[in-house]
Structure 1
């Protein structure tokens, strides 16, 4: 075995440590969202579910389609990009949903009085919140290469990589980020919307207290 080669046990250990790092990364991201927005009901559970779904789905697509090899050097950076870039959208979605719910609580209760279940009563708010949370990332993705020049693409080009290869890598990264933002915001909004009601379908009072 040449110097620098890694045997099967070393590769397996590298993958195990990478997955453990991703688990810790996801937990810390959820705790960070919880600290930023502690008043939202079950925000830690919603954030953890959102980031876990984001990391799992993103890596499954990238590795399932063979875009990148399953290695320790690819697992952690890709998961970090997916989870890290989705944190802002998750906070925006959580805060916007609770704020709108507090403002439009009467409308939600009117929908409940008409016989709609909580899921349908809060669905219009969830749609608006997701649109607002995803719009910035969608607009950024649309202008890649025309207005917005991401660092990965510029760095690869400056390093001497073929421009077409640099663009292809950046396209993968941008759609990875867009998919991650959509997944995390959707999951956190859906989970959080279920926690805005009691078991007997009463709405929670989220009005800030002095």
Structure 2
């Protein structure tokens, strides 16, 4: 069976959907409103996604909030760096943390709203991926999504702040500031730039 993933506009195979009963899994041949069904996939689905039989049904979805804690992940075994990168990407897709990749190529930064999320991330990386990690302070403490009515203005801001720009999981640009004073200073200098604390769940542009 195939369904349309509205966010991308592409078809997706629904192979072996399952019901969960405690530790037992049963193939779901039929489901009704209210049923909870597991759909095996390799990072294709995200929280807030909509699957249809072809209709363009759009929901606002689950927004992202600007993280209040930014940390770098320190891995004891450098040989497992690629595995850590994949694991962090998976955790970000699940919504455990937010992941930001600096434009200057420096190591990724994880962002969370509360410290408990870091504990969850650490435990899951250890037990699910065999990746014992520690967290290091980042030089940044403030994160904001940036945009402007004039796209060229956004690009100018990015070029002027290359060392303070990162990309989120959707490749949208964020500005990383050392503290609130730095953010307010840049906001005064760049009146056309919007510094957002909330990012609505993004869906495919119908015109795409």
Which structure has the highest strand share of the two?
2
TM-score (norm 1): 0.26
Considering fraction of residues, name the structure with more helix: 1
Give the TM-score taking structure 2 as reference length.
0.26
The structure with the larger Rg is: 1
